[in-house]
């Protein structure tokens, strides 16, 4: 079976690029010839050297990302059994969908959180026109839609679409990380990892460090790992200065071993976003044995169920209370929660497990297998 994906593999593109690559990697582990076509990138920006993507021409029309000669690029790399569009709104995804339909080949669309109400409210007029002009047609004619959780599927259904939806979460790489021994953290360090953007509400963690002065130890620390919106990052730096905090550190964007060491140093990961369709960093922390605090705007009810974190309302008092509760549990109990988190990831979110799920979805679409139980009609 040959499957060609369209999407980003830029290491600076965050979760969507990582999830696209790990999906392809998982499929390859099960013998699927999975490949990616993307915009031209310098080698140092490609998320993994193993990927070896095909390159189209550079897109035009700014954020709409229309790619000239995209059909010719697809012709050049040869036909696939299935095409897979990673994300919505970008015109190259619609171009791939049109190409697939022209050649009577099925295609899948992964939503990547882009149809949540909160996401639709950003640039709402542009998205409303885009939906009417081309996006609804692309979605409606897909052989299946991939949502990362049931909530995302329900939002999709509320828009009136009735085609099959496969609920398959984002995979996490476990091969080398799972072998790393867990250690008791002698210093209480809270972390945020991800894109620095206003909708992430990182300022809530900075305010927690002020609100909990006197309740947390003097050497407690907040580590903010990531880059992105420079204006918002400047605001966060000003907040730290205004509040006279010396225990907040900004590392900027990290990758590879630097990122691995930073996550391993955390006692607790806190994700203060009002919503995320999945939150890759949750799995990245759990596989390293770091308990997680996630808001109820994220699909992580499993955290308390598996005793590896907290799923909370996202107001400031609740965030403060939960951080303090985690600290008072002590390092031994936090490490026990970390072990539970690893078990959850191995069971439900590994590259191998989710690659197998995606393969079974493709087999069903091609008429070679029964409908999987994670596909909803």
The CATH class that applies to domain 2-171+350-376 reads: alpha beta
Percentage with pLDDT > 90 across the chain: 69
Q: Distance between CA atoms of 76 and 55, rounded to whole angstroms?
A: 11
Q: Where are the alpha helices (DSSP H) in the chain?
A: 15-29, 70-77, 91-102, 117-120, 124-130, 136-140, 150-158, 203-211, 230-242, 256-264, 280-287, 302-305, 316-329, 331-348, 351-365
Q: What is the mean pLDDT of residues 193-216?
A: 93
pLDDT averaged over every residue in the chain = 92
Compute the average pLDDT of residues 146-168: 94
> Is the pLDDT assigned to residue 368 strictly greater than 80?
yes
Least confident of 78-82, 85-89, 253-257: 253-257
From 11-25, 133-147, 306-320, 352-366, the region with the lowest mean pLDDT: 11-25
- Read off the pTM: 0.73
Mean pLDDT of 75-92: 94
CATH architecture of the domain formed by 177-348: 3-Layer(aba) Sandwich (3.40)
For the chain, the 3-state helix, strand and coil shares in percent, each to the nearest 5, are: 45, 20, 35
Q: Is the predicted pLDDT of residue 16 greater than 80, yes or no?
A: yes
Q: Of all helices (H) and strands (E), which one includes residue 309?
A: strand 309-312
What pLDDT, on a 0 to 100 scale, did the predictor assign at position 12? Answer: 83
**Would 2-171+350-376 and 177-348 be classified into the same CATH topology?**
yes
pLDDT computed for residue 356 by the predictor: 95
Q: Is the pLDDT of residue 11 over 90?
A: no
- Confidence grade of residue 182 (pLDDT, cut at 50, 70, 90): confident
- The domain locations on the chain are 2-171+350-376, 177-348
CA 261 to chain centre: 20
pLDDT band for 320, please (50, 70, 90 cuts).
Answer: very high
pLDDT(373) > 90: yes
Residue 336 has pLDDT above 90, yes or no: yes
Q: What is the pLDDT of residue 63?
A: 59
pLDDT at 151: 86
- Indicate the length of the chain as a whole number: 377
pLDDT at residue 168 greater than cutoff 90? yes
Q: Does residue 65 register a pLDDT over 80?
A: no
Give CA–CA dist 192/166, Å, rounded: 30
Q: What is the pLDDT of residues 286-311, one digit of tens each?
A: 989 999 999 988 888 899 999 999 99
Assign 177 a pLDDT band (cuts: 50, 70, 90): confident
pLDDT computed for residue 79 by the predictor: 93
Cα–Cα dist 92/37, whole Å = 10
User: Are residues 272 and 246 in contact, defined by beta-carbon separation less than 8 angstroms?
Assistant: no
Q: Give the residue-averaged pLDDT of 348-375.
A: 94
Report the SS3 class of residue 26: helix
């Amino acid at each position: 079976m040959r499957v060609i994906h369209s999407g980003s593999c830029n290491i600076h593109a965050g979760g969507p690029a990582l999830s696209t690559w790990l999906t392809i990697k998982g499929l390859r582990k099960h013998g699927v010839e999975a490949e990616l076509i993307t915009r031209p990138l310098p080698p140092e920006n490609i998320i993994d050297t193993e990927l070896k993507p095909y390159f189209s021409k550079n897109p035009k029309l700014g954020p709409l990302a229309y790619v000239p000669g995209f059909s010719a690029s697809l012709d050049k790399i040869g036909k696939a059994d299935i095409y897979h569009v990673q994300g919505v709104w970008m015109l190259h995804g619609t171009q791939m969908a049109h190409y697939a339909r022209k050649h009577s080949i099925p295609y899948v669309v992964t939503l990547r959180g882009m149809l949540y109400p909160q996401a639709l409210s950003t640039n709402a007029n542009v998205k409303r026109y885009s939906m009417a002009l081309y996006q609804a047609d692309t979605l409606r004619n897909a052989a299946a839609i991939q949502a990362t959780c049931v909530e995302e599927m329900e939002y999709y259904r509320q828009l009136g679409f009735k085609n099959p939806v496969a609920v398959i979460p984002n995979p996490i790489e476990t091969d080398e990380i799972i072998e790393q021994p867990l250690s008791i953290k002698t210093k209480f360090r809270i972390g945020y990892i991800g894109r620095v953007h206003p909708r992430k509400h990182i300022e809530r963690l900075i305010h927690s460090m002020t609100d909990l002065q006197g309740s947390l130890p003097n050497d407690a620390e907040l580590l903010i790992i990531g880059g992105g919106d420079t204006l918002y990052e400047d605001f966060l730096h000003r907040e730290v200065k205004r509040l006279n905090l010396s225990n907040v550190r900004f590392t900027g964007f990290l990758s590879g071993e630097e990122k691995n060491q930073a996550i391993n140093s955390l006692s607790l990961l806190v994700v203060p976003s009002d919503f995320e369709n999945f939150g890759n960093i949750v799995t990245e922390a759990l596989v390293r044995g770091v308990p997680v605090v996630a808001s109820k705007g994220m699909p992580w009810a499993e955290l308390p169920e598996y005793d590896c974190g907290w799923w909370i309302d996202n107001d400031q008092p609740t965030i403060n209370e939960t951080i303090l509760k985690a600290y008072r549990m002590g390092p031994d109990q936090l490490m026990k929660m970390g072990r539970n988190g690893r078990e959850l990831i191995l069971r439900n979110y590994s590259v191998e497990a989710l690659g197998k799920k995606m393969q079974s979805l493709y087999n069903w679409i091609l008429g070679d297998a029964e409908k999987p139980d994670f596909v909803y009609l």
